A = this chain, B = another copy of it.
Amino acid sequence: MERLEGFHGLLSRDRELETRLDQKDYKLLELLRQNARESYAALAAQLGISESAVRKRIMKLKKLGVIRRFTIDYDVPGEVVALILVKTQPPVQTPDVSRKILQNRMVEKVYEVTGEYDILVIARARSSQDINSIIDYIRSIEGVQSTYTMIVLRSY
A residues apposed to B, CB below 8 Å: 21, 26, 29, 32-37, 61, 65-77, 81, 83, 95, 98-99, 102, 109-115, 117, 120, 148-156
Does A156 contact B109, Cβ atoms closer than 8 Å?
yes
Question: Distance in Å from the Cβ of A66 to the closest Cβ of chain B?
Answer: 6
Chain B residues contacting A32 (CB-CB under 8 Å) are 71-72, 74
Task: Please measure, in the bound complex, the distance between the C-alpha atom of A142 and the C-alpha atom of B26, giving whole angstroms.
Answer: 32
How many copies of this chain does the complex contain? 2
Question: Distance in Å from the Cβ of A64 to the closest Cβ of chain B?
Answer: 8
The residue among A65, A98, A115 with the most chain B CB atoms within 10 A of its own CB is A115
Does B68 contact A70, Cβ atoms closer than 8 Å?
no
Does A21 contact B76, Cβ atoms closer than 8 Å?
yes
The residue among A35, A102, A117, A153 with the most chain B CB atoms within 10 A of its own CB is A153
Given that A66-B77, A70-B72, A76-B29 are contacting pairs, would A111 and B34 also be in contact in the complex, using a CB cutoff of 8 Å? no
Q: What would be 23 A-B contacts, judged by CB atoms less than 8 Å apart?
A: A29-B74, A32-B71, A33-B74, A35-B71, A36-B37, A36-B69, A37-B37, A37-B70, A65-B75, A67-B73, A67-B74, A69-B73, A70-B72, A71-B71, A81-B111, A83-B111, A102-B156, A109-B155, A112-B152, A112-B154, A115-B148, A115-B149, A115-B151
